[in-house]
Amino acid sequence: MPPRRRIATDAGRAALAAWQADPAAADRTTTATAVRWALEELATRSPGRTVEVRVPPFGATQCIAGPVHTRGTPPNVVETDAATWLGLVAGTLAWSDALASGRLRTSGQRADLSAHLPLTGGGV
């Protein structure tokens, strides 16, 4: 079952577009909306609870089908900042570049989301 949407699709797409137009000028609300919508979009497109994606302080989601953890820290975690996450989502930053630069932290065998990003295709 896909997650319940909290950010309307139109509002999320608009926030992502505004952030893409000028990341330095995007206010906290716009950035937060874009991040949260992109997390929801990833979980909708790749449902499951195998990988936890964290973008502090804005949000986190679980996604990708497979083995499920039930307690404690999940074995497959992706964590990054908002600018890196939105760059990955928009396709302006490659997964491998974010990983090599240390802007993206991953743990676990299933934490490679490169096949699921960017989210800009498929009507985003």
Q: How far apart are CA 52 and CA 68, in angstroms?
A: 11
Sequence-distant (6+) residues with CB within 8 A of 49 are 62, 63, 64, 68, 69
**1-60 confidence digits (pLDDT tens):** 556 788 999 999 999 999 999 999 999 999 999 999 999 999 999 999 899 999 999 999
pLDDT given for residue 10 in this prediction: 95
Place 121 in a pLDDT band, splitting at 50, 70 and 90.
low
- Residue 113, beta-bridge partner list: none
Tell me the pTM.
0.91
Alpha helices in 46-117 (DSSP H): 82-90, 95-101
Q: What is the DSSP letter of 97?
A: H
Q: How far apart are CA 63 and CA 116, in angstroms?
A: 10
